[in-house]
Structure 1
Amino acid sequence: MRRRFRRHLARRVERLRASLLPILQCAVAAGGAWFVANNLIGHQRPFFAPIAAVICLGVTLGSRLRRAAELVVGVSLGVLVGDLLISVIGSGYWQIALVVALAMAAAVLADGAALLVAQAGASAVLVATLLPPGGTGGLDRCVDALIGGVLGLAAAALLPTDPVAPVRREARMLLDELAGVLDEVADAIRSGDVETAKGALNRARASQPLIDDLRGAIRGGSEVTRVSPLVRRRRGALAKFAELAERADYAMRNTRVLARRTLTAVHDGEPAAPEFADVVSELAGAVGVLTAQLGRDGDREAAREPVLDVVRHVRAMDWQPGTSETVMVAQVRSIALDLLQATGLSRGDALAQMRG
């Protein structure tokens, strides 16, 4: 329990470090948006400009282009519907309810994205409560939203984060967890302890957030390369990590099956060959080698030989596996195949090397 808490805390601290540059981007974009709207455009209190910049950027790397577009379109819809209706029906509780409902309905028809719909409703409330009907405030809000969105994207382009670093960090976390689960499975096979086997299975089942975080980091990094020409050359490295993420996902799924079958075997008292536990430990070590190979550009060919050693050792074992062990051996081979593909091999080449 204490070990898991330390792992959880370490991940939080690491994510805070990774968020420092996005936070700086938000701060610079917010200040710049206020300066442009107030000092250059002449809006007296352009509070929506810095708000738009912060919403556009956030502290995550993904979907910034989409958020900027949704922000501007949502504000424009809300202001348009609100200004047109309030100038005719006046302002009051039922007018606010009607304006918000119509503005959000228009946003749903236009796109349906959550941010667009929310901004349409919020802008309609502003028009209905703060802006004089028929005044220029509604247009000013649209301009402020546009300024904030543009300044947000400019900050992302001129102060780009490293699109690969978060991906590499998340990939290492996922692979570390994969190796940890395999080690626990090996311990369960050696000891024949049901609780150890249950712990390995529960840990494997709890790994999905790590996979989701890795995929989210890849999407965010890809968007950074689209927004900023300064880091466009990093697309090749991201493509390698995208393949790694796919294969690591499959490897973890196969590890869940391995852990579940191990629990069944231990619970039913089926004997397990001690050398097979060593093979699973060796597979965990091969994952560790793969993790160590996640260099700056995701090169990982050197991790292939340790994985192939595992396959050779399984083939060389002199034993007659039982029912559960047969399934477990098949899962080890499947995990090895996933890991070989994670190093950049095609499925056909990986199978050929496993048979060789």
Structure 2
Amino acid sequence: MTRVGTKLGDHMRGRVGTFGLMAPAIAQSSVGAGVAWLVATQLLGHVRPFFAPIAVLISVGIGLGQRLRRVAELVVGVSLGVGVGDLLVAWIGSGPWQIALVVALAMTTAVLLDSGALFVAQVASSAVLVAAVLPGDDMGGLDRMVDALVGGAVGLAAVALMPASPLALAAKHASGVLDALSTALEQAAEAIEKRDADLAAEALEEARGTQAVVAEFEQALETSKEIILISPMHWHRRAVLARYETAAEPVDHALRNARVLARRTIAALGEPQPPPASLAESMREVSEAALLLQLELGAGREPVLARQALLAVATRQRPDDGVGFSSAVIVAQLRSIVVDLLRATGSDQEESSAALPPVAG
């Protein structure tokens, strides 16, 4: 019962944390939709400007993505869909087969112009609205295009004036990546100490399951850069976000190397000469350095302490001729992970590689 309650509590805390990240987008969408409707009805005199609030929702977006491209696709897609719909409805009327024909021709035109999913969907939905819902509407295609433009502009203004925190977004996803790396190394170290191949297999599964986490981190960085570009309120945070950008690619490489390390750990535990305990100790030190990097990035500081910790462990990563083949591969992969994480702290490739003892011969 206690375990169930703990899991429920963890789930609720996760949901509350997600709401905290999404609250700005919810506010931007709701307030922007109302403002867009008000502008279109009161200033432009449009009777049913439904494309205005729809444009706000698409341009703000609840998920991660390229907002500026979405706005452009929305306006062009509405214009094209309304144009195709108006022309065909005026010629062939409205009905089931007419709607099918309108959608087919509108989507074909959209695919030939741009294969973007949002663009194609917007063209098709606009054409359906004209053909099915508003065949006798006195609003022209130009009015609907203006409504879409108003909604897009209001959506961008809402993002600029009520922005989400780009650093909180980047920090959340960077923490997921570095946590996964640290956990994989910790599990591999424990597997070596306990001579447990099953633990090594768990470490491999942990490392293999990080592809989606890395992709989410990269997407979060794109969204964070977009927020800083649009919102003057966050321009002063460009330097802090740049540290996350510096870390993104090297941390991805470190995770790839961790997968190989975990796989060779399984093999090494089946060899006559198992990996030495000192290798597990080095893995734990690198694991702790990854968590230290996570903390310093999240605090908005230059990751000096993480760099120092990595430099200290780097000096001891000397290849040992007395170990088995798989253990030698593990050492090589750990050396690569150290270099990757040093690069993530801001060191260049040459400086990071020079921190390691040279390989004889």
In the superposition, the TM-score normalised over structure 2's length comes to 0.91
Q: Which runs of 5+ in 1 are unaligned?
A: none
The one of 323, 326, 340 equivalent to 2:328 is 326
Quick check: 1:131–1:137 contact (8 Å CA) kept in 2?
no
Deviations 1:104-161 (A, max 9, x none): 1121222221111101101111111122368324333222211111110110111122
The more displaced of 280-289 and 296-305 is 296-305
* 1:353 Cα offset (Å): 2.6
Q: Using a 3 Å threshold, how does the CA distance of structure 1 residues 120 and 68 change in structure 2: closer, same or farther? A: same
What amino acid sits opposite 1:354 in the alignment?
A: L
What amino acid sits opposite 1:261 in the alignment?
A: R
The one of 51, 56, 65 equivalent to 1:53 is 56
Quick check: 1:174–1:211 contact (8 Å CA) kept in 2?
yes
Deviations 1:162-181 (A, max 9, x none): 22221012112211121111
Q: Report the identity percentage.
A: 46
Q: SS of the counterpart of 2:165? A: coil
The one of 8, 29, 37 equivalent to 1:34 is 37
Distance, in Å, in 1 between the alignment partners of 2:120 and 2:272 is 58
Q: SS of the counterpart of 1:314? A: coil
Q: SS of the counterpart of 2:316? A: helix
* 1:5 Cα offset (Å): 9.1
Task: Please give the residue correspondences for 1:241-252 in structure 2 after superposition, counting only pairs within 5 Å.
Answer: 241-252=244-255
Aligned residues: 355
Q: Does 1:335 align with 2:337?
A: yes
Deviations 1:18-60 (A, max 9, x none): 1111111111111111111122222222222112211111113
Quick check: 1:96–1:128 contact (8 Å CA) kept in 2?
yes
Task: Please give the residue correspondences for 1:1-356 in structure 2 after superposition, counting only pairs within 5 Å.
Answer: 11-132=14-135, 135-268=138-271, 270-297=273-300, 299-315=302-318, 320-355=322-357
Cα-Cα RMSD:
2.3
Q: Which runs of 5+ in 2 are unaligned?
A: none
Q: SS of the counterpart of 2:166? A: coil
Distance, in Å, in 1 between the alignment partners of 2:180 and 2:323 is 28
* 1:318 Cα offset (Å): 7.5
The more displaced of 91-100 and 124-133 is 124-133
Distance, in Å, in 2 between the alignment partners of 1:351 and 1:181 is 23
In the superposition, the TM-score normalised over structure 1's length comes to 0.93
What amino acid sits opposite 1:117 in the alignment?
A: V
Distance, in Å, in 2 between the alignment partners of 1:37 and 1:238 is 37
Quick check: 1:61–1:224 contact (8 Å CA) kept in 2?
no
Distance, in Å, in 2 between the alignment partners of 1:215 and 1:4 is 29
Quick check: 2:317–2:356 contact (8 Å CA) kept in 1?
no
* 1:295 Cα offset (Å): 4.0
Quick check: 2:200–2:262 contact (8 Å CA) kept in 1?
yes
Distance, in Å, in 2 between the alignment partners of 1:31 and 1:306 is 52
What amino acid sits opposite 2:342 in the alignment?
A: L
Q: Using a 3 Å threshold, how does the CA distance of structure 1 residues 132 and 348 change in structure 2: closer, same or farther? A: same
The more displaced of 149-158 and 317-326 is 317-326
Quick check: 1:241–1:298 contact (8 Å CA) kept in 2?
no
What amino acid sits opposite 2:338 in the alignment?
A: A
Quick check: 1:87–1:134 contact (8 Å CA) kept in 2?
no
